[in-house]
Amino acid sequence: VPQGVVLKDMDGALSQVPGWVTDARKSTQRVAILATGDPLCHGLASWLAGKLNPDDLEIHPALSTLQLAFARFKQAWQDVKIASCHSRDAGEWFAGATPDHGLYPAMRAIAQHSKVALFTGPENNPARLARALISAGYDEARLSVACRLQQADEVLFQGIPVAEAATMSFPEPNVVLVQRPPEARRPAFGLDDLEYIQ
């Protein structure tokens, strides 16, 4: 580390980052924040812009996690709905879950779209997501999971049935593509509230 450079680890300390930036700037230090993926697609820059003056931010995106994942899957993704269930742990999915449940945005997107790309987290991982899909009646769904992209131990799982994915362990971090057959239709009666546009 060059002289005068201070390194701080954001793991488990995200709420402190805006304070670190503010303090460093008061001391006329320059600040660089490094994060993976696209910082403005469910990323750190969106959150920081709400905590700091956005005009003071200079954002340099890298190749996004989703670009990499879909390149590895060899699939086009212009028709994919993007959602996130990262860092919103509320336990396992259950019928009647409300919008404050960590999986609600993901399940809502899946109810409305046949292809959904999801940013996951250690709690809301692919196995929990698969169990949620089974619980919601999406037994026909398949998961593709891109794990540890651009690392030496990168691994892909493609087109796994949800019943199989529900019991698997996937290396972190990862992103998930949920695919349901476009022709799969839900019954016109007996739907959960989640199924309706609200």
Asked if 115 and 159 touch (Cβ cutoff 8 Å), the reply is no
Q: What pLDDT, on a 0 to 100 scale, did the predictor assign at position 196?
A: 54
Q: How many residues does the chain have?
A: 198
pLDDT in tens, 58-116: 888 888 889 999 999 999 999 999 999 887 688 999 988 999 899 999 999 999 999 99
Task: Kindly state the average pLDDT of the residues 140-158.
Answer: 97
Residue 4: alpha-carbon gap to chain centroid: 35
Percent share of the chain, pLDDT over 70: 91
Could you tell me the two tokens for 69? 């994942």
Whether the pTM exceeds 0.85: the reply is no
In the chain, the percentage of residues whose pLDDT exceeds 90 is 55
DSSP-H helix ranges across 55-153: 65-73, 104-112, 126-135
